[in-house]
């Protein structure tokens, strides 16, 4: 399909071909789905909302509930106030959520709809809440939408009573529900009482019960979000996704934060465990020590198959930084590391990581696209490709072993249930990486060289 991609790289600034990101409201919708009894609401046309729901549903293989202001030509000209008033009334009447989380779209941003005043003027039913954030999709990416929605909730709902609640806040960043379960498991093992925000576990990985419910009971509750101002410490994971929300909590309610990389691989998981340990002052339990030891053993055993292999890694900034760190721990040489999210901080952090491992000759770029990555690969090939489903045509065209990781993975099942983070997640990723490399070795081996024991 992409066999005809040329190797002649041309500098582009405006045009993106095969983008490595999606639009802001997708992130806002995903963040809102991590809040209990919350209806994400798209203030724009139905087409935007359908697209955002589709992307999420295809990745999680679960319905992503959301409502829309259903703009038509009239709203585009006269503004969307009447649309959102009708929508909010209908959503509370028909679906009965506790809260509606409104995000804007390109259209409502372009016409300048003032959501703050619209919401202020609403006559809401007793005990119901509406919050909003701005998500103009012509800047940033779904990652910006995700943290903008987090900050929307925090701006409307957080409080400080003056009595610390003895808990740590944990911002997981953009991860799958399986990752959130693993982060919670580690925090519980470390004896840390916490508020996880947002929390899509139990929502987008909810079990089949035979009965469809709009709200599954999972997600961060509204009192938990309100209590963020009373938490004693914030552990914010994913420097690029959670950095701005962490700053907001510090500025608003003076909650000190520790900003860490997404805990992928040994070093970054250690940092998460140590931050929890600093909070609880408890010893690291045997269960975690043992799992870490298994991972070290696995890295040593698999080293002959991974050492020196060249890889291209792409996707969302924090998961890419984490996977780059894991690859370096495996002795894999990152050759191209890109994200579609336009954040210069990404290149700074990846370059610092590469410097630590004395890796040279790696191309690192934010605001990049997959067409560009493909052209680089045509000029200097790699032996492994790691990223979202959108890399599969490149993998096919160039015959490269391909590991699906990050968002979105549209063509495989069970990924959202499984962790990438923590020692357990690293063990899983090492297995995937080794399987891909060793399958390729087997495929290409002459009959007399095909090993049974490796």
- Residues near ligand SF4 (CB under 6 A) are 23, 25, 44, 48, 51, 105-106, 137
**Of residues 106 and 266, the one with the C-beta less far from ligand SF4:** 106
| Calpha distance 69→274 (Å, rounded) | 45
Smallest separation (angstroms) from ligand SF4 to the CB of 340: 13
**Of residues 23 and 327, the one with the C-beta less far from ligand SF4:** 23
Smallest separation (angstroms) from ligand SF4 to the CB of 5: 25
Smallest separation (angstroms) from ligand SF4 to the CB of 49: 8
- CB neighbour class for 190 (10 Å; exposed up to 12, middle 13-18, buried from 19): buried
Give the tokens for residue 288: 């975690």
**Of residues 112 and 162, the one with the C-beta less far from ligand SF4:** 112
Smallest separation (angstroms) from ligand SF4 to the CB of 75: 14
Smallest separation (angstroms) from ligand SF4 to the CB of 436: 33
Residues whose CB falls within 8 Å of the CB of residue 383, separated by 6 or more in sequence, listed in order: 309, 310, 311, 400, 401, 437, 440
Strands (E), 294-435: 310-315, 333-339, 363-365, 384-387, 402-404
Handedness of CA 63, 69, 74, 79 (dihedral sign): negative
**Of residues 71 and 197, the one with the C-beta less far from ligand SF4:** 71
Smallest separation (angstroms) from ligand SF4 to the CB of 79: 17
**Of residues 57 and 280, the one with the C-beta less far from ligand SF4:** 57
| Calpha distance 94→65 (Å, rounded) | 13
**Of residues 42 and 216, the one with the C-beta less far from ligand SF4:** 42
Q: Which of 22, 356, 406, 376 is nearest to 364 (CA)?
A: 376
| Calpha distance 380→375 (Å, rounded) | 9
Long-range contacts of 226-229 (CB under 8 A, 24+ apart): 226/157, 226/158, 226/159, 227/158, 227/159, 227/165, 227/167, 227/195, 228/154, 228/158, 228/169, 228/195, 228/197, 228/253, 228/255, 229/158, 229/159, 229/160, 229/161, 229/253, 229/255
**Of residues 148 and 233, the one with the C-beta less far from ligand SF4:** 148
Helix or strand holding residue 38 (H, E) = strand 38-43
**Of residues 51 and 156, the one with the C-beta less far from ligand SF4:** 51
DSSP string, 152-204: HHHHHH----SS--S-EEEE--S--HHHHHHHHHHHHHTT--EEESS--TTTT
* 419 within 8 A of 179, measured Cβ to Cβ: yes
Smallest separation (angstroms) from ligand SF4 to the CB of 235: 31
**Of residues 22 and 324, the one with the C-beta less far from ligand SF4:** 22
Smallest separation (angstroms) from ligand SF4 to the CB of 59: 16
Smallest separation (angstroms) from ligand SF4 to the CB of 104: 8
């Amino acid at each position: 399909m992409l066999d005809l991609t040329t190797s002649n790289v041309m500098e582009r600034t405006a045009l993106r071909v095969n983008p490595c990101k999606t639009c802001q409201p997708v992130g806002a919708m995903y963040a809102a789905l991590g809040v209990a009894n919350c209806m994400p609401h798209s203030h724009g046309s139905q087409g935007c909302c359908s697209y955002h729901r589709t992307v999420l549903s295809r990745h999680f293989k679960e319905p992503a509930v959301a409502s829309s202001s259903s703009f038509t030509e009239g709203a585009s000209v006269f503004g969307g106030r009447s649309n959102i008033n009708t929508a909010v009334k209908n959503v509370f009447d028909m679906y009965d959520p506790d809260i509606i989380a409104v995000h804007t779209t390109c259209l409502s941003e372009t016409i300048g709809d003032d959501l703050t005043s619209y919401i202020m003027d609403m006559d809401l039913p007793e005990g119901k809440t509406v919050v909003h954030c701005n998500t103009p999709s012509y800047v940033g990416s779904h990652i910006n939408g995700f943290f903008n929605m987090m900050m929307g909730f925090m701006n409307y709902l957080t409080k400080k009573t003056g009595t610390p609640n003895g808990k740590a806040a944990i911002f997981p960043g953009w991860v799958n529900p399986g990752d959130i379960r693993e982060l919670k498991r580690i925090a519980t093992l470390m004896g840390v009482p916490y508020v996880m925000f947002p929390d899509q576990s139990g929502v987008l990985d909810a079990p089949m019960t035979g009965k469809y419910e709009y709200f599954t009971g999972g997600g961060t509750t509204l009192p938990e979000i309100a209590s963020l101002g009373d938490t004693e410490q914030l552990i914010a994971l994913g420097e690029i996704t959670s950095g701005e929300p962490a700053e907001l909590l510090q500025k608003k309610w003076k909650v000190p934060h520790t900003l860490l990389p997404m805990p992928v691989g040994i070093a970054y998981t250690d940092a998460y465990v140590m931050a929890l340990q600093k909070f609880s002052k408890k010893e690291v339990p045997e269960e975690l020590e043992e799992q870490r030891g298994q991972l070290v053993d696995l890295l040593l055993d698999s080293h002959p198959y991974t050492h020196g292999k060249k890889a291209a890694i792409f996707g969302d900034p924090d998961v890419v930084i984490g996977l780059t760190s894991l690859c370096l721990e495996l002795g894999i040489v990152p050759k191209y590391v890109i994200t579609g999210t336009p954040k210069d901080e990404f290149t700074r952090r990846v370059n610092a990581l590469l410097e630590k491992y004395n890796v040279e000759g790696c191309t690192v770029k934010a605001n990049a696209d997959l067409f560009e990555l493909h052209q680089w690969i045509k000029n200097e090939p790699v032996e492994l490709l790691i990223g979202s489903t959108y890399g599969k045509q490149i993998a096919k065209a160039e015959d490269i072993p391909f590991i699906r990781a990050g968002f979105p993975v549209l063509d495989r099942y069970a990924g959202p249930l499984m962790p990438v983070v923590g020692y357990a997640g690293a063990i899983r990723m090492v297995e995937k990486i080794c399987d891909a490399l060793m399958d390729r070795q087997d495929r290409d081996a002459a009959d007399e060289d095909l090993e049974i024991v490796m």
